[in-house]
Chains A and B, each alone.
Chain A
């Protein structure tokens, strides 16, 4: 469609369920951001629809490599990768059903990995993550913000957001409708408690989750500004990221199984980095 010069966000029937869900025909366009198209197109063009599964299989392999790089020690690495591979939310959603949550997760984990080495690369990965799918990269944007190298981070982020800006400039109204407004007006489904609650309560929960995320990020940035880099700074950020994403999922209009992919790899890394019981003061009786 894009190669043929058509704007996927202005398409009326690309996502008929979206239009039904939002009770308006204008919401039938593509629901993800342009980098997602760029990632999947080579696979789907060459293999067909099943290319989604092979793309996801490749991304699962890259995810395992990232987890390996973020965790130290042979045993901790083995446990982390094994736990990640047996996670049904990852295996079923990505490899059987072809959901597209992995690219955004990879960009975010990559940003965590490089944050202390290059603020620009970190910003670029976060920007590309946002240009792929709003969640989870939008949460990481503030959590990973480096107060001392903010110019490089913002420059990298702006570079990563370029594909999004191109499509936004192409036709702003349908882009904003399908990417931003859709998330605000979509009707809750049975996986969210909001389906059984008054509308105002659900919206208040969403606003509260966003405010809590912003407040926590500001606190992290302030802490990073005041204190010298600490050994556990990565753990703190990972923990806050996992908590913030979980809270946003819990406050959302939908809480699908595949959304868990946004935070589960980060939690696996966090647990593996704190695997040593004795280091944490817990005595283990061994035989």
Chain B
């Protein structure tokens, strides 16, 4: 469950709305409060217990909504890589929820799912690297000396 919250945060932070300092501060503050509270606060544990009890479909709806919303927003965005990232995160949410509701060690269907998760996860940095090479967008001062003016 904490990983699903992390994935939701990671996929939603870079979208346009949260480039605004006030919205960004609000999201970061909520996320920081969650990190701080989850280790010690009993209420957080109770909330996680309620989420665990809610069942697979409720968890899918709750944690799949953000990546699917980012997917929908990204369809109109010039950054097409984000479309793939959102789909991969949606798949990982589904895989994590499915795995949470299965018991036993990694074997058979589960190990094939793990292979798919790793392959899809690797596709995100690979696609970004390819995008950075094909459409150069180096933007750091570290490379400015080398960039044409």
Cβ-based interface call for B138 (8 A): yes
Whether the Cβ atoms of B129 and A191 lie closer than 8 Å is no
Whether the Cβ atoms of A96 and B122 lie closer than 8 Å is no
Whether the Cβ atoms of B35 and A243 lie closer than 8 Å is yes
Q: Pick out which of these stretches binds chain B: A144-152, A221-229, A274-282.
A: A274-282
Whether the Cβ atoms of B133 and A50 lie closer than 8 Å is yes
Cβ-based interface call for A100 (8 A): yes
When distances are taken between beta carbons in the complex, the residues of chain A under 8 Å from B60 are none
Alpha-carbon distance between A148 and B120 when the two chains are bound, in angstroms: 45
Tell me whether A98 and B142 are in contact in the complex, defined as CB-CB below 8 angstroms, given that A53-B132, A91-B128, A243-B35 are known contacts: yes
Residue of A whose beta carbon sits closest to that of B100: A284
Cβ-based interface call for A134 (8 A): no
Whether the Cβ atoms of A250 and B32 lie closer than 8 Å is yes
Cβ-based interface call for A87 (8 A): yes
Whether the Cβ atoms of A86 and B92 lie closer than 8 Å is yes
Residue of A whose beta carbon sits closest to that of B32: A246
Cβ-based interface call for B121 (8 A): yes
Tell me whether A277 and B133 are in contact in the complex, defined as CB-CB below 8 angstroms, given that A243-B35, A271-B2 are known contacts: no
Residue of A whose beta carbon sits closest to that of B50: A282
Alpha-carbon distance between A95 and B129 when the two chains are bound, in angstroms: 5
Whether the Cβ atoms of A96 and B143 lie closer than 8 Å is no
When distances are taken between beta carbons in the complex, the residues of chain A under 8 Å from B129 are 53, 57, 95-96
Alpha-carbon distance between A57 and B85 when the two chains are bound, in angstroms: 17
Cβ-based interface call for A60 (8 A): yes
Cβ-based interface call for B68 (8 A): no
Cβ-based interface call for A257 (8 A): yes
When distances are taken between beta carbons in the complex, the residues of chain B under 8 Å from A237 are none
Tell me whether A17 and B141 are in contact in the complex, defined as CB-CB below 8 angstroms, given that A48-B146, A83-B7, A91-B125 are known contacts: yes
Within 8 A of B (CB), among A177-191: 188-191
When distances are taken between beta carbons in the complex, the residues of chain B under 8 Å from A260 are 10, 13
Whether the Cβ atoms of A194 and B21 lie closer than 8 Å is yes
Alpha-carbon distance between A283 and B101 when the two chains are bound, in angstroms: 11
Cβ-based interface call for B81 (8 A): yes
Whether the Cβ atoms of B28 and A44 lie closer than 8 Å is no
Within 8 A of A (CB), among B108-149: 114, 117-118, 120-122, 124-125, 127-129, 131-133, 136-147
Whether the Cβ atoms of B121 and A86 lie closer than 8 Å is yes
Whether the Cβ atoms of A96 and B3 lie closer than 8 Å is no
Alpha-carbon distance between A15 and B143 when the two chains are bound, in angstroms: 10
Alpha-carbon distance between A48 and B145 when the two chains are bound, in angstroms: 11
Whether the Cβ atoms of A95 and B140 lie closer than 8 Å is no
Alpha-carbon distance between A242 and B33 when the two chains are bound, in angstroms: 11
Alpha-carbon distance between A282 and B82 when the two chains are bound, in angstroms: 34
Alpha-carbon distance between A14 and B96 when the two chains are bound, in angstroms: 46
Which residues on A are within 8 Å of B, measured CB to CB? Answer: 1, 14-15, 17-18, 30-32, 36, 40, 44, 48-50, 52-53, 57, 60, 74-75, 78-79, 81-83, 85-92, 95-100, 188-196, 235, 239, 242-243, 246-247, 249-250, 255, 257, 260, 264, 267-268, 271-272, 274-275, 277, 280-287
